[in-house]
């Protein structure tokens, strides 16, 4: 029995709070994170001294991917239970998720001092060190975790991610296969194996793993998109189209699905439908890179220069990083007589991929059209140094040396071009034209020098 009315009210509020925590747990288990969070918030207001409730709120916020807020609740839980390694571990994981790597490492080291046999403190540091680019330390954490629990599927999963990031796809697949063997229900394990098989050229294995993952998670749009991209790259256009359409059935505003559906139609040369898909992608996500570039290509083919320039300007403003796209944009700008814009694209391509002969070639052509033959020649020579067997580079170098009246160097490059492609047009005709012009200029120069010599002797 309660001794006073206040005790009775306190007990009643406590019962209500406990009930809300129980309801929050059920909601959490059913994936209703927002509702679970609201219940926990109400419970915490009535019983703010319970570490478990703060901890549960942190887990719920993790489920909502609100990691910074989750950190606040884990820290509050630790104020009540400062040596709870489970809470400290979750805090360390979220420090990694929010790129606070030094804090994450010091947090995991704190666990190691409290309980050296707490395996997750090593397992989770694999992720932290991987994201920091310290792959040797990530592998060291894996072996330390193995000493405590040699059959931890998460350890194999995490070290597989580290190996994948390093491009060691065979070892990554082995680790993920081990993870799947230890825990067949591990989230997205077959998806990860599919990705590694795909990039390492194991198309058959990639397809099998994608299908297994799709049976487990038929409505996962990320996996559907990647499977569609795999099929698109494999040339299975209709299958890829079906995957992108299925994504749009789940979410008609999924911009990437519209874009890649456009890619299917573009490859099939159905440019009207492709343009419609690219336009839909732009409506769904105004900052998505790619649609404007593809629309510009379509406009360029139709010789709509004004439309091309406008679309390419907008695309460039999105911060394009793909070197091939930047090069293509540069050439479209160049052929649309937008020399400064073309130069900007080629310069950005060089920033993204320092030793790219095509970017030097494009920049050199832009400068040459501007009339800066010395600057153009410097770029073309860089391109020749990177790809000396490219006939277009040799021809361009020869032409620039000719414009600068450096006949011997001009002839050397033009003859190199003819050696590479002695009969291929238009190189053969252009080379012969430049060689005839060089002979004429040399002859003219010789005659002029002879005349000047004779003239001086007579006077």
The ranges assigned to domains in the chain are 395-459
Q: What does each C-alpha distance from 254 to 42, 247, 353 come to in angstroms?
A: 35, 7, 30
What is residue 385's predicted lDDT score, i.e. its pLDDT?
94
Written as six digits, the tokens of 133 are 């680019």
Cα 144 from chain centre: 32
What is residue 54's predicted lDDT score, i.e. its pLDDT?
78
Residue 141: which of 170, 177, 109 has the closest Cα?
A: 109
State the greatest distance between any 2 C-alpha atoms of the chain, in Å, as a whole number. Answer: 136
Query: Residues 195-219, buried b or exposed e (16+ Cβ, 10 A)?
Result: bbbbebebeebbbebbebbbebbee
CA distance 48 to 201: 55
What is residue 347's predicted lDDT score, i.e. its pLDDT?
94
What is residue 3's predicted lDDT score, i.e. its pLDDT?
43
pTM here is 0.80
What is residue 48's predicted lDDT score, i.e. its pLDDT?
59
pLDDT per position in the chain (459 positions), as tens? 334 444 434 444 556 767 766 766 676 676 776 777 676 677 666 665 677 777 877 888 888 888 998 898 899 889 888 999 999 999 999 999 999 999 999 999 999 999 999 999 999 999 999 999 999 999 999 999 999 999 999 999 999 999 999 999 999 999 999 999 999 999 999 999 999 999 999 999 999 999 999 999 999 999 999 999 999 999 999 999 999 999 999 999 999 999 999 999 999 999 999 999 999 999 999 999 999 999 999 999 998 899 999 999 999 999 999 999 999 999 999 999 999 999 999 999 999 877 899 999 999 999 999 899 999 999 999 999 999 999 999 999 999 999 998 989 989 998 998 898 888 888 889 888 988 988 888 888 777 777 666 666 555
CA distance 387 to 105: 46
Q: CB count, 10 Å around CB of 398?
A: 26
Q: Please give the torsion angle defined by the CA atoms of residues 29, 59, 148 and 189, in that order, rounded to the nearest 10 degrees.
A: 60
Residue 369: which of 331, 406, 405, 410 has the closest Cα?
A: 331
Q: What does each C-alpha distance from 218 to 64, 243, 268, 279, 447 come to in angstroms?
A: 21, 11, 27, 27, 82
What is residue 310's predicted lDDT score, i.e. its pLDDT?
95
What is residue 4's predicted lDDT score, i.e. its pLDDT?
42
């Amino acid at each position: 029995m309660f001794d006073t009315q206040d005790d009775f009210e306190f007990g009643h509020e406590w019962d209500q709070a406990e009930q809300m925590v129980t309801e929050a747990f059920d909601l959490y288990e059913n994936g209703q994170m927002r509702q679970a969070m609201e219940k926990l918030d109400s419970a915490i207001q009535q019983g703010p001294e319970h570490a478990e409730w703060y901890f549960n709120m942190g887990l719920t916020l993790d489920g909502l991917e609100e990691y910074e807020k989750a950190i606040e609740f884990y820290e509050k839980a630790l104020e009540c239970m400062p040596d709870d390694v489970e809470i400290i571990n979750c805090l360390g994981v979220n420090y990694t998720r929010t790129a606070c790597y030094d804090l994450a490492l010091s947090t995991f080291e704190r666990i190691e001092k409290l309980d050296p046999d707490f395996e997750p403190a090593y397992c989770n540091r694999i992720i932290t060190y991987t994201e920091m680019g310290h792959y040797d330390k990530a592998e060291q954490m894996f072996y330390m975790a193995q000493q405590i629990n040699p059959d931890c599927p998460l350890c194999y999963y995490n070290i597989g991610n580290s190996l994948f990031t390093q491009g060691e796809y065979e070892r990554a697949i082995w680790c993920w296969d081990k993870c799947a063997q230890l825990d067949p229900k591990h989230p997205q394990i077959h998806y990860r194996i599919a990705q590694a098989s795909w990039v390492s050229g194991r198309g058959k294995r990639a397809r099998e793993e994608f299908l297994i993952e799709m049976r487990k998670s038929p409505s996962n749009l990320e996996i559907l998109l990647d499977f569609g991209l795999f099929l698109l790259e494999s040339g299975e256009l209709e299958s890829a189209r079906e995957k992108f359409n299925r994504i749009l059935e789940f979410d008609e505003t999924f911009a990437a699905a519209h874009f890649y559906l456009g890619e299917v139609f573009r490859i099939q040369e159905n440019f009207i439908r492709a343009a419609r898909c690219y336009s839909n992608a732009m409506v769904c996500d105004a900052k998505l890179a790619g649609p404007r570039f593809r629309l510009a290509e379509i406009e360029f083919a139709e010789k709509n220069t004004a439309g091309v320039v406008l679309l390419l300007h907008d695309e460039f403003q999105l911060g394009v990083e793909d070197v091939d796209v930047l090069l293509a944009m540069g050439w479209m700008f160049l052929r649309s007589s937008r020399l400064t814009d073309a130069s900007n694209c080629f310069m950005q391509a060089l920033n993204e991929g320092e030793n790219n002969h095509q970017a030097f070639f494009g920049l050199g052509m832009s400068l040459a059209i501007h009339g800066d033959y010395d600057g153009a020649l410097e770029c073309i020579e860089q391109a020749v140094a990177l790809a000396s067997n490219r006939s277009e580079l040799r021809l361009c170098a020869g032409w620039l040396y000719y414009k600068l009246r450096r006949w011997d160097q001009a002839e050397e490059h033009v003859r190199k071009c003819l050696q590479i492609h002695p009969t291929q047009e238009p190189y053969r005709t252009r080379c012969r034209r430049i060689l005839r012009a060089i002979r004429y200029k040399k002859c003219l120069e010789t005659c002029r020098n002879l005349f000047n010599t004779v003239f001086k002797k007579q006077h």
